[in-house]
Amino acid sequence: MSKFTITEQQYRKHCKTGFKYSYGTAGFRYKADVLDTVMFTTGILAALRSIYLGGQTIGVMITASHNPPEDNGVKIIDPKGEMLAQSWEAFATDLANAASQGYEELVRATTKLVSQLQLDVCDSGNISVARDSRESGPRLLQALIDGINIFKEVSIVDYGLLTTPQLHFLTWKSNEQKDRKWVELDYYEEFLSSWFEIATLSGVKSLPFSVQIDAANGIGASKIQEMLLNIDFFRSKITLVNSNWQNSQLLNFSCGADYVKTNQRLPNGVQLNPKDNCVCCSFDGDADRVVFYYVDQQGVFHLLDGDKISSLLGKFFQKLLSDAYLENDVKLGIVQTAYANGSSTRYLQETLKIPVSCTSTGVKHLHHEAINSYDIGIYFEANGHGTVIFSDILVEKIDKRIQEKNLADSEARSLRLLKAFTKLINQTVGDAISDMLTVLAILCIMKWGPSDWDHEYIDLPNKLVKVVVPDRTLFTTTNAERQLVTPEGLQSKIDSTVAKYDLGRSFVRASGTEDAVRVYAEAATRQHAESLAKEITALLK
């Protein structure tokens, strides 16, 4: 094992003491002014992770997603484009907190980690980095790069400004096919070529509706401009709003997926006439989430959230599998969290008869369940973050069947369509652009507008409340967070309260990203959902 050197000067350039950090569901995410320390140690950690994995490329994304402009954050991406392995989250937290205690502590903690993992720090490594449009991005990037550069044989590819899912995709591709350099244009090429293949196979010559995209004044706006608005097919039909990504103060302000989902209303800058034949959607600040919406003939706003996206995809792939005579060979399933609307779960299980799994909150849980349990695993959080995973075995099966002679035209077309969707969908992580194109393609093929999609089931009225308590860690759960284990006795009080409400359901869990507990309640009417939420909240005081 060779040596590495972290100089006191390097440490002082970026690190400060006295803050306690934790690598959570969304990586490290704080006010940007306390993040320099963590960026420097994340650089060290990402380099060690790459060395540990034999030089495979590790991604590092600097973003705070839907948070306000003054926040920022950092997430590490593993070689297949998935989130950092959970066992390493603790290493990331330990290194950050060591640096926050002082220079000697950081050197000691890094040396200990290198020896514990038995690393040769002169081995080579590869890191791909990118950032969203926040003002603090360039400064934090420098701290990250200086951390990585502690290890002389670790190279960096800086992609500049990207959406989070673009970096997941490029990190995955860099490992899957190492003999070439992967660039942003490859991302556009991959998804656009699949789109046009689907359009050709389905006879879609133009979009049958107009599309309005609210890009949350985030980096997604610039990518939509580069990817879609240069192409006639899209330019004539797509209107981009909240596209001012260069003014970072506007990021996520009164717009974007989180604003629309939380407030259940149109974002700033979007005006809809009920007569417009328009499909609208909102991205979040780093374009890994998307929600759709429309206004009906009475001018009433309707949200088509992650649960609605899952249900659309479930129905579509079920039909496509049957058209390809694959329905008996392929396990299609949907993964949700406890926040999924009860009507969506009932619709999937009882109407479509598709199996549904429920996992803890956080996409990494849904992602793993989708991979482990299904050949086609569709997962979306209600907030619009999700994707579809196709198993390797299924893709091989499709490839083999496509080669078969004497296939009927319709069967061959269905198989080709299925294959093209495996490429249109960014399987590494939720991706607003890829998910949007997938939904638009499906609506075109099914000849549906947003209200046809919406009418498959009616959401139960629901209410989500954030309750600040003295110590949220006292709230522990079981059964995919649907029941409390502690505080003792509280769950039975919740159960007897819920039992009073028609179609009532409620659960309480500690947030993983905020210092609060969340109360979710749904019931047959809006009034009942609100009063159930109120009663449950009162039990917490």
The single residue among 286, 305, 307, 535 that binds Zn ion, judged by CB under 5 A, is 286
Binding part of the chain for ligand NG1, among 45-53, 424-432, 481-489, 509-517 by CB under 6 A, reads 509-517
432, two tokens: 């607003």
Task: Give the nearest distance from C-beta 164 to Zn ion in angstroms.
Answer: 6
Q: How far is CA 244 from the centre of its chain?
A: 22
Instruction: Evaluate whether 27 touches 95 at the Cβ level (below 8 Å).
Output: no
Three-class HEC string of 114-155: HHHCCCCCCCCEEEEEEECCCCCHHHHHHHHHHHHCCCCCEE
Minimum Å gap between C-beta 163 and ligand NG1 is 15
Q: Which amino acid would we find at residue 508? A: V
Q: Which residues are CB-neighbours of 397 under 8 A, at least 6 positions away?
A: 326, 329, 330
| CA distances for 276 relative to 27, 273, 299, 307, angstroms | 40, 5, 11, 24
Paired sense of beta strands 290-295 and 476-478, if any: unpaired
Q: Is 518 in the site for ligand NG1 (CB under 6 A)?
A: yes
| Contacting range for ligand NG1; rule: CB under 6 A; set: 30-38, 53-61, 231-239, 381-389 | 381-389
Task: Based on the residue annotation, tell me whether 174 is a catalytic residue of this protein.
Answer: no
Binding mask 7-36 for ligand NG1 (x = CB under 6 A): ------------------xx----------
Cis peptide before 487 (omega within 30 of 0): yes
- Looking at the Cβ atoms of 281 and 420, the one nearer to ligand NG1 is 281
Binding partner selected for residue 239 from Zn ion, ligand NG1, none, CB under the kind-specific 5 to 8 Å limit: none
Q: How many residues bind ligand NG1 (CB under 6 A)?
A: 13
Mark the segment that binds Zn ion (CB under 5 A) among 277-285, 291-299, 455-463, 470-478: 277-285
For ligand NG1, the closer of residues 206 and 263 by Cβ is 263
Rounded least distance, CB 306 to ligand NG1, Å: 9
Residue 146 or 284: which CB sits closer to ligand NG1?
284
Rg (CA), the chain: 24
Residue spans of beta strands (DSSP E) within 296-339:
301-304, 332-337
**C-alpha–C-alpha distance, residues 291 and 385, integer Å:** 9
Residue 318 found at the interface with ligand NG1 (CB under 6 A): no
Beta bridge partners of 156: 127
Task: Give the integer Cα–Cα distance in Å for 315 and 313.
Answer: 6
The answer to whether residue 65 forms part of the interface with Zn ion (CB under 5 A) is: yes
Q: What is the dihedral of CA 389, 393, 399, 405, to 10 degrees?
A: -140
Q: Residues 72, 100, 344, 383: which binds ligand NG1 (CB under 6 A)?
A: 383
Q: What residue has token string 């010559």?
A: 205
> Which among ligand NG1, Zn ion, none contacts residue 518 (Cβ within 5 to 8 A by kind)?
ligand NG1
CB 218 within 8 A of CB 67: no
> Which of 43-51, 312-320, 379-387, 455-463 is the region at the interface with ligand NG1 (rule: CB under 6 A)?
379-387
Q: Between β-strands 332-337 and 356-359, what pairing exists: parallel, antiparallel or unpaired?
A: parallel
Q: 64 vs 398, which CB is nearer to ligand NG1?
A: 64
Backbone torsions φ then ψ of 339, nearest 5 degrees: -80, -5
The residues in 387-406 that bind ligand NG1, with binding defined as CB under 6 A, are: none
Q: Which stretch binds ligand NG1 (CB under 6 A): 102-110, 229-237, 377-385, 492-500?
A: 377-385
Candidate list 89, 288, 307, 522; residue touching Zn ion; CB under 5 A: 288
At 294, give phi and psi (nearest 5°): -155, 165
- 10 Å Cβ neighbour count for 14? 22
Kindly indicate which of the ranges 61-69, 214-222, 376-384, 525-533 contains the residues binding Zn ion, using the contact rule CB under 5 A: 61-69
In angstroms, what is the minimal distance from the CB of 434 to ligand NG1?
Answer: 18
> Nearer to ligand NG1 by C-beta: 146 or 459?
459
Annotated active-site residue in 65, 222, 248, 344? 65
Q: Which residue is nearest to Zn ion (CB)?
A: 65
Residue 26 contact, options Zn ion, ligand NG1, none, Cβ 5-8 Å cut-off depending on partner type: ligand NG1
**Closest CB to Zn ion among 257 and 508?**
257
Longest distance between any two alpha carbons in the chain, whole Å? 71
Partner from Zn ion, ligand NG1, none binding residue 336, C-beta < 5-8 Å depending on class: none
Quote helix, strand, coil % in the chain, to nearest 5.
45, 20, 35
Spatial distance between the Cα atoms of 528 and 504, rounded to a whole number of angstroms? 8
Residues that bind ligand NG1 (CB under 6 A): 25-26, 339, 361-362, 381, 383, 385, 511-514, 518
Residues that bind Zn ion (CB under 5 A): 65, 284, 286, 288
Residues with active-site annotation: 65
